Structure 1
Amino acid sequence: MRTYRANSIPPDSIAGAISYAIGQPPGVDVNELVIRPARQR
């Protein structure tokens, strides 16, 4: 369980990624959003 939590992404980071995707202008289509930790132990 410790490894999982050590590599987890904070909820506000997930929210920021989603906000970025839905905040794009009308001419931009976001088909996929892959979110992963930048650093893994």
Structure 2
Amino acid sequence: MATGGMAGALRATLDYVTERKQFGKPISKYQLIQEKLA
């Protein structure tokens, strides 16, 4: 049950960081964000 919740949270986070833009590009392209997600 906890694994399913974590998978859903990760999926929602990845969707958010690929949609959210800062300075004209998705925040998922910034190294600091990539490190935090890893």
TM-score (norm 1): 0.40
Comparing both structures, which one devotes a greater share of its residues to strand? 2
RCO comparison, higher one (Cα < 8 Å, 6+): 1
TM-score (norm 2): 0.43
